[in-house]
Amino acid sequence: MGLHGATLYWLGFDLQTASKDSVVSNVTILLSSLIVSNTLRYYQPGKGKYFYIVTWCFLLAILAVFVTRVILVRFISDPIYAGIIDKSLIIRFCVSFLLISGMGLISMLWYTQQEQKESERRKADAEKLAREAELYNLRQQLQPHFLFNSLNSISALIGRRPDEARTMIYQLSDFLRGTLRKEENEFVSLEEELQHLQLYLDIEKVRFGHRLKTEIIHEEGCTNLILPAMLLQPIVENAIKFGLYDTTGEVTISIEAKCLQNYLVLNIRNPYDEATVRPKSGTGFGLGSIKRRMYLLFARTDLLEINGENNTFTTVVKIPQI
């Protein structure tokens, strides 16, 4: 608008005439540009249909020049000026068309980008909801398996050892109460996880008695590191399954936590009998769910490793500290 008025003033028109021409011309262009912008806000032409935008800008440029001429001729009663307006209509049209088209292009790029961001946000939200639903489902599938085993053990203890059965019921109650609290937190500290794991081990020790021994070792400073809630329980349950189910002697389950660079590394070891167990193939639902859960949380498939050598089954889990 300033450039327009300055150009007319430089060409010899008085300041009032130049100002009126500048204001009227540029206001009509502005209104036309806003029409294009608002149109593209609610309607985005498909690929290969940009001709419609060009046509729309072309028609609006003609309308803007026509409205400008009508207003200026009415409010500036100067025959010489009126003749100059008619001679400059082509230039006015070209300038209007370029400005309106430029606004159309900018608006189309802006709204397209916003639509893509919104689409990506919706996609991310949908993926997050799906991931959370699958994580929740995986965690819920772990509970019935452990609960059924515990109830069967309690049933077996009621007749022969009622005091131990009562103790196991209390421990199971504490464990399930802690499990419900953990449903609200996706990540917990190693210290919290070990405390919850101890409740599970106390229940299992009632089931297996002196046969089950556990050894928990962690480096100093590791207890504040985080890991997915209820990660250790299904791994230890798997270790107990392969370590005790096919043997009659004492078995020691070893749980070791190390701090390694930006990872919390967990090593769970249990002995097994090669004659009755094939650990590489018998990973069960527990470890499969852990691997799937780690992938959903960290988008990596290399965070869970299993190895069976020298009658020792080892599960290694690496948890990135994000």
Last residue of a domain, one of 95, 120, 145: 120
Q: Is residue 149 part of a domain?
A: no
Q: Is residue 224 part of a domain?
A: yes
Last residue of a domain, one of 92, 120, 148: 120
Lowest mean pLDDT among 90-94, 122-126, 218-222, 299-303: 122-126
Q: Is residue 134 part of a domain?
A: no
Classify residue 281 as left (phi > 0), alpha (psi -120 to 50) or beta.
alpha
Name the band, by pLDDT with cuts 50, 70 and 90, for residue 48: low
pLDDT at 283: 44
Are 189 and 106 in a shared domain?
A: no
The total number of structural domains that make up the chain: 2
Give the angle 310-311-315 at the CA atoms, nearest 5°.
95
Name the band, by pLDDT with cuts 50, 70 and 90, for residue 255: very high
Mean pLDDT score, 148-163: 78
3-state SS, one letter per residue, for the chain: CHHHHHHHHHCCCCHHHHHHHHHHHHHHHHHHHHHHHHHHHHCCCCCCCCHHHHHHHHHHHHHHHHHHHHHHHHHCCCHHHHHHHHHCHHHHHHHHHHHHHHHHHHHHHHHHHHHHHHHHHHHHHHHHHHHHHHHHHHHHHHHHHHHHHHHHHHHHHHHHCHHHHHHHHHHHHHHHHHHHHHCCCCEEEHHHHHHHHHHHHHHHHHHHHHHEEEEEEECCCCCCCEEECCCHHHHHHHHHHHHHCCCCCCEEEEEEEEEECCEEEEEEEEECCCCCCCCCCCCHHHHHHHHHHHHHHHCCCCCEEEEEECCEEEEEEEEECC
Name the band, by pLDDT with cuts 50, 70 and 90, for residue 10: confident
How far out from the chain centre does Cα 128 lie? 5
pLDDT at 76: 75
Are 206 and 57 in a shared domain?
A: no
Q: Is residue 220 part of a domain?
A: yes
pLDDT at 47: 65
Q: Is residue 175 part of a domain?
A: yes
- Comparison of pLDDT for 254 and 229, the residue scoring more: 254
Are 206 and 273 in a shared domain?
A: yes
Are 165 and 304 in a shared domain?
A: yes
Q: Is the pLDDT of residue 291 over 80?
A: yes
pLDDT at 184: 52
Last residue of a domain, one of 99, 120, 141: 120
Indicate which CATH number applies to the domain containing 230. 3.30.565.10
Percent of the chain with pLDDT over 90: 9
Q: Is residue 169 part of a domain?
A: yes
Mean pLDDT score, 216-239: 86
Q: Is the pLDDT of residue 123 over 90?
A: no
Are 297 and 227 in a shared domain?
A: yes
Of 165, 186, 279, 280, the C-alpha closest to 231 is: 186
pLDDT at 319: 92
Are 113 and 166 in a shared domain?
A: no
Q: Is the pLDDT of residue 241 over 60?
A: yes
pLDDT 10s digits, 125-155: 777 767 766 666 666 655 566 677 778 778 8
Q: Is residue 142 part of a domain?
A: no
Are 167 and 222 in a shared domain?
A: yes
Range of the domain at 193: 161-320
- Comparison of pLDDT for 49 and 294, the residue scoring more: 294
Are 254 and 205 in a shared domain?
A: yes
Q: Is residue 128 part of a domain?
A: no
Q: What is the pTM of this model?
A: 0.57
Are 201 and 304 in a shared domain?
A: yes
Are 200 and 81 in a shared domain?
A: no
Q: What is the C-alpha to C-alpha distance for residues 11 and 1, in angstroms, rounded to an integer?
A: 16
Q: Is the pLDDT of residue 52 over 90?
A: no
Across the chain, mean pLDDT equals 81
pLDDT at 134: 67
Q: Is the pLDDT of residue 256 over 90?
A: yes
Are 206 and 308 in a shared domain?
A: yes
Mean pLDDT score, 114-121: 85
Are 114 and 243 in a shared domain?
A: no
